[in-house]
Amino acid sequence: MVSRRRFLPLLATIATAVGLAVAVVAPSTSNAAAGEECRPDGLYQTPGVAVPYCSVYDTEGRESLGPDHSRRVIGYFTSWRTGGNGAPAYLVPDIPWTKVTHLNYAFAHLDAQYRVSVGADGPDNPATGMTWPGVDLDPSLPYKGHFNLLTKHKKQHPNVKTLISVGGWAETGGFFNPDGTRNASGGFYKLGAQPQATVDAFADSAVRFIRAYGFNGVDIDYEYATSNNHAGNPDDFWISNANRGTLWAGYEKIMKALREKLDRASAEDGRHYLLTAAVPASGWLLRGQEAYQVTRYLDYVNIMSYDLHGSWNHFVGPNAALYDDGKDGELAAGGVYTAPQYEGMGYLNTDWAYHYYRGAMQAGRINIGVPFYSRGWQGVTGGTNGLWGRAALPDQTRCPAGTGSSVGSTTPCGNGAVGIDNLWHDSTAGGAEVPSGVNPLWHAKNLENGITPDYLAKHGLDPVNDPTDRLTGTYKRFYDSTLTAPWLWNADKKVFLSTEDEQSIAAKAKYVADKGIGGVMIWELAGDYRFDAARGQYTVGDTLLTKINDGLRGAAPYGSRKAAGPTPSDVLDVSATVSGFALGDNNYPITPKLKLTNNSTTTLPGGTRIEFDYGTSAPGGMADQSGFGLRVTAKGHSGSNVGGLRGDFQHVELTLPTWQPLAPGASVDVALSYQLPIASPSNFKLTFGGKSYAIASDHPRGGTGGPDPTGTTTTTTTTTTSQQPNCTAPAWDRAKAYGGGNEVSHRGKRWQAKWWTQGEEPGTTGEWGVWRDLGAC
């Protein structure tokens, strides 16, 4: 079987679509709701539901992980390593249960009726029907297969939580039929466009599924709800490209329904069910995913901080670098290091991805991903021992689907490693091999040590008759301490394999421990290694898992608060949303509108100071085009990020004009402008009358759940457009046409049209737009 995992398309030069949609909640005067004292900071709570958070979290909102762990160690366990056709098996008893805190079963899918499913029951179903010689099942359970063994072993290790992961690379937009063919049903892509009743029925099926098989929650692996063209599995382009403008809204609808259904089931069952997601690390993907507004529905995120370089293009680099080094060949070719607005910031590394999500979530609700597999190229030229070299496929008319000329790109597709250098073959839906240098790390260790292993034939290789399947040349290990990345370089074959080993994993574990991050996620457990002395070769083991545990042992409890400092104890019922994004590659620079809506009964007077934070994944150059005087007053980081971003937040202040109070029910828009991707602006603070307030839409600890603007409840709002009294020019009228030289007043300023215009609001068209700012009235 193939890994069925990740094969990213071309990465482009950066700038991302970012937006925020946060819940409107009623301020809380007490912690009367059952379990509210344990709710994690920022986590949405379904209105009217007493969720038993204390069954999973302590009174600081930190997850209870058992006596031996203060941070999460999350392993993906895959369904397909069953030992079929003589291939090596990796079964539930092979998992080092004392060294993990969570197990994600990969994968379930959406069936043709949008229900969570692992296929029809039967003796060949690995999840529910399969058995294995010498492996004892729990006879008291009504199902067999992996699920039986997971439940059996979880009884022996009650602190380990199991989650069903739904989707994945191959099953986001379809599912596999019993004969192994793929049904391109549309999956998550179609589900998000369905009526609310259909989405609710999906969420109900997820609840039934975890109750039936004893899971602790649901992990969503939707790859990917982005507005970028040619993103995700090429087999899904027929639906993803056609609907890319609506995918994110559909994803939000799905996650909100899941959160609310799981909350209701939690209240009924007396145990909090987790909702998590595998989330992108690529700035190219994130640019088309607005502000990752779904973070408020998630107990935590697992960052897929790997596949940052691969043979989908010709730029040779590390699969999962921890830091940028200022030399990334792909970023350099895209002008990222030289464009002054980006400040030389590199975005293809784990540290950048962590800070993207840190802008919207506390460190403890974030886990970084590490790959227990390699990626690689052949025919590499240039670079230093292959690093930052190039390897284009010689015949660009034969690029794999989704890359290079196959999608009309001018960036060459890569010459992926094959044969003995591609043991875990990525494949197309039709079963064709995708050259990509994907290997379990135990195989990479055999290559590094010049060991010809005894398992090649079991993985479909024929070293007797096929020269590419033979061990030739020397695979020398190299390590870059700035990137925190190892690789193997075979100078004879010009093969570069990006790997992980004890040194890089120890560095990443220390990074997690030092920054208060929630933990580490592993794709996938079956790629770890140990040396088998009896066989004289490396095989499946737990060397790297042990290294992670060693690095996290004794670490202080993870960070449980979103803000870096104290937050106001009083909560005002105000919501902040960000919307209005160009699709995908058109989103340069990022210019959404921040809408503040006053849902309270108190008027926000003119002069109210508004503050918020955004992540240092973007430079501290945010500005507004609405005359609100927005400025970044404190920078957590500026300049290049070689060796890591120094701080978590850029801090912003703006002021409601003195002539523009915000009455109850009213809203006001602030046109923003920034460059690189950020997740939801957060940690809002409003100050007026000598007092400061948090806002309810941040879901601060101590607040309670309430209506959400993405739901079906609607409220009528008015946009405040009053003029300062001494503005003598006529007020701008959206319906009126203006010619060059016409003057208007708007938001306390005079504006002059440079040419004919109609419907373009002064203050939103930018320096080079139609309206010239003539200053205050």
pLDDT above 70: residue 706: no
**Rounded CA gap, 663 and 124, in Å?**
64
Query: In sequence order, which residues have a C-beta less than 8 Å from that of residue 82 and are 6 or more positions away?
Result: 1, 89, 91, 126, 130, 132
pLDDT above 60: residue 681: yes
User: Of the given ranges (5-9, 306-310, 654-658), which has the lowest mean pLDDT?
Assistant: 5-9
Mean pLDDT of 377-403: 97
Tens digit of each residue's pLDDT (9 = 90 or more) over 80-100: 999 988 888 999 999 999 999
Backbone angles phi, psi at 84, to 5 degrees: -65, 150
pLDDT above 80: residue 284: yes
* Average model confidence (pLDDT) across the chain: 90
| 768 band by pLDDT with thresholds 50, 70 and 90 | low
pLDDT above 50: residue 266: yes
Tell me if the bond preceding 372 is cis, omega within 30° of 0: no
Quickly tell me which residue has 């292959």 as its tokens.
386
Q: What is the pLDDT of residue 27?
A: 32
Percent of the chain with pLDDT over 90: 82
pLDDT above 50: residue 710: no
Q: What is the pLDDT of residue 26?
A: 35
Tell me if the bond preceding 171 is cis, omega within 30° of 0: no
Mean pLDDT of 752-770: 73
**Rounded CA gap, 130 and 132, in Å?**
7
Q: Kindly compute the dihedral angle of the four CA atoms of residues 132, 453, 521, 222, in this order, to the nearest 10 degrees.
A: -70
| 568 band by pLDDT with thresholds 50, 70 and 90 | very high
Mean pLDDT of 695-713: 60
Domain map (residue ranges) of the chain: 70-135+159-208+219-307+349-372+501-530+542-560, 309-345+376-499, 571-719, 737-776
SS percent in the chain: helix, strand, coil, step 5: 20, 25, 55
Contact between 475 and 447 under an 8 Å Cβ cutoff? The reply is yes
H-run or E-run covering 734:
none
**Helix 196-213 with 145-156: angle, nearest 10 deg:** 60
**Helix 502-515 with 543-552: angle, nearest 10 deg:** 30
H-run or E-run covering 79:
none
Mean pLDDT of 484-499: 98
Quickly tell me which residue has 């409107």 as its tokens.
24
Backbone angles phi, psi at 384, to 5 degrees: -110, 110
User: What's domain 737-776's superfamily in CATH?
Assistant: Carbohydrate-binding module superfamily 5/12 (2.10.10.20)
Q: Per CATH, the architecture of 70-135+159-208+219-307+349-372+501-530+542-560 is what?
A: Alpha-Beta Barrel (3.20)
Mean pLDDT of 9-38: 41
pLDDT above 80: residue 720: no
pLDDT above 50: residue 264: yes
Distances (CA, A) of 152 to 41, 82, 160, 214: 34, 18, 12, 10
Mean pLDDT of 388-393: 98
Other CB atoms within a 10 A radius of the CB of residue 607 amount to 15
Q: What is the pLDDT of residue 709?
A: 40
Q: What is the pLDDT of residue 11?
A: 32
CA 638 vs. chain centroid, Å, equals 24
Tell me if the bond preceding 589 is cis, omega within 30° of 0: yes
pLDDT above 60: residue 358: yes
Taking phi first (over 0 means left), then psi (-120 to 50 degrees means alpha), and beta for anything else, what does residue 709 get?
A: alpha
pLDDT above 50: residue 169: yes
Mean pLDDT of 170-178: 94
Q: What is the pLDDT of residue 298?
A: 98
The distance in angstroms from the start CA to the end CA of the chain is 71
Query: In sequence order, which residues have a C-beta less than 8 Å from that of residue 296 and are 6 or more positions away?
Result: 22, 23, 42, 43, 44, 680, 699
Single pTM value for the model: 0.88
Q: What is the pLDDT of residue 572?
A: 96
Q: What is the pLDDT of residue 727?
A: 65
Q: What is the pLDDT of residue 34?
A: 58
CA atoms within 13 A on the CB side of 312: 24
Contact between 46 and 705 under an 8 Å Cβ cutoff? The reply is yes
**Rounded CA gap, 564 and 647, in Å?**
10
SS3 of 86, please? helix
Q: What is the pLDDT of residue 15?
A: 30
Tens digit of each residue's pLDDT (9 = 90 or more) over 24-61: 333 333 333 458 899 999 999 999 999 999 999 999 99
Q: What is the pLDDT of residue 651?
A: 98
Tens digit of each residue's pLDDT (9 = 90 or more) over 583-594: 988 888 999 999
Q: What is the pLDDT of residue 627?
A: 87
| Residue type at position 162 | T
Torsion sign over Cα 50, 55, 58, 63: negative
CA 708 vs. chain centroid, Å, equals 22
Please name the fold of domain 571-719.
Answer: Immunoglobulin-like (2.60.40)
Q: What is the pLDDT of residue 718?
A: 30
Q: What is the pLDDT of residue 23?
A: 30
Q: What is the pLDDT of residue 722?
A: 34
Q: What is the pLDDT of residue 29?
A: 30
Q: What is the pLDDT of residue 18?
A: 28
Backbone angles phi, psi at 26, to 5 degrees: -80, 140
